């Protein structure tokens, strides 16, 4: 399975740039992620957890620019096979040396991938 990149429908706050991947008008999801924050409002601005530290009631908007949408990458077995990690050693110039994953590390990464797919599939049901 090749690596797959998916752009998700994204909502953002025009005032502070906060963004998420669910419809803020969906009261159930909004309450799950941001209890106590009024539906459709930016949670960062409403609570003052933004760059300006000011509270405001700013409605979230759909992100129309595909380049700014939330992106997820699904990794397949080929990418796991090709993964390299920090070996813990450096070359003579101080550059980090990489090593291939061990069989156990490859299995662990594959198990993580399968668990994520299973969890995502279960959430869709």
Please state the domain extents for the chain. 1-74, 75-125
Tell me the whole-structure pTM to 2 decimals. 0.58
Where does residue 87 rank: exposed (0-12), middle (13-18), buried (19+ CB within 10 A)?
Answer: exposed
Helical residues (DSSP H) of the chain, grouped into ranges: 27-33, 43-47, 77-82, 103-124
Q: What is the mean pLDDT of residues 27-34?
A: 92
pLDDT digits (tens, 9 = 90+) for 61-101: 999 999 999 888 877 777 777 777 788 888 899 988 888 88
* Strand pairing category for 71-74 and 4-7: antiparallel
């Amino acid at each position: 399975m090749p690596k797959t990149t998916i752009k998700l429908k994204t909502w953002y706050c025009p005032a502070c740039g906060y963004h998420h991947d669910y419809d803020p008008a969906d009261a159930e999801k909004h309450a799950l992620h941001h209890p106590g924050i009024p539906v459709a409002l930016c949670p960062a601005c409403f609570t003052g957890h933004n760059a300006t530290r000011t509270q405001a009631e700013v409605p979230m908007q759909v992100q129309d620019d595909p380049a700014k949408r939330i992106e997820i990458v699904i990794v397949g077995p080929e990418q796991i096979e090709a993964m390299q990690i920090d070996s813990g050693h450096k070359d003579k110039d101080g550059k980090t040396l990489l090593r291939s994953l061990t069989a156990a590390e490859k299995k662990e990464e594959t198990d993580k991938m399968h668990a994520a797919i299973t969890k995502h599939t279960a959430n869709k049901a």
